[in-house]
Amino acid sequence: MSDADTNRSGSDPEMTSINLRLSEAFLNDIDASWREEGFNSRSEFMRYALRDAVKHPGLTRETWKSIAATEHELRTGDAELVSREEVMAGMEQSPEDAADGE
């Protein structure tokens, strides 16, 4: 977490409150996620998630949706974990190779 999230810097960062409308189901998913991931609060989790989205603009909306879907499948037992080596090997494939199943 950053100093802004945990206030390790010793000074209060200037914070602004915002309102956000979410479906009840999505809010329930967020609440389960921040608790499971060990965040101190929903706000801390949301700041972290938003910071990731801003710092990594190259990740498309579809990529974020895929990550969220995979995390959900892992939590519900509908997916299997893969090793770092398997992920790295998959990243080294060209899109054409992956489409051909190579």
Q: For residue 94, tell me if it sits in a domain.
A: yes
Closest by CA to 42, choosing from 26, 30, 24, 29, is: 30
Residue 10 identity (one-letter amino acid): G
Q: For residue 62, tell me if it sits in a domain.
A: yes
- Give the model's pLDDT for residue 5: 46
List, for residues 27-70, the tens digit of each pLDDT value.
998 998 888 888 999 999 999 988 988 888 888 878 877 877 88
- Give the model's pLDDT for residue 24: 93
Give the residue-averaged pLDDT of 84-101.
Answer: 66
Q: For residue 82, tell me if it sits in a domain.
A: yes
- Collapse the DSSP code of 88 into the 3-class scheme (helix H, G, I; strand E, B; otherwise coil) and give the result: helix
Residue 32 identity (one-letter amino acid): A
Q: For residue 36, tell me if it sits in a domain.
A: yes
- CA distances in angstroms from 52 to 36, 58, 74, 97, listed in the order given: 18, 11, 21, 29
Provide the domain limits for residue 42: 21-100
Domain count, the chain: 1
Angstrom distance (rounded) from CA 29 to CA 83: 26
Q: For residue 12, tell me if it sits in a domain.
A: no
Q: For residue 2, tell me if it sits in a domain.
A: no
* Pair 33, 45: CB distance under 8 Å: yes
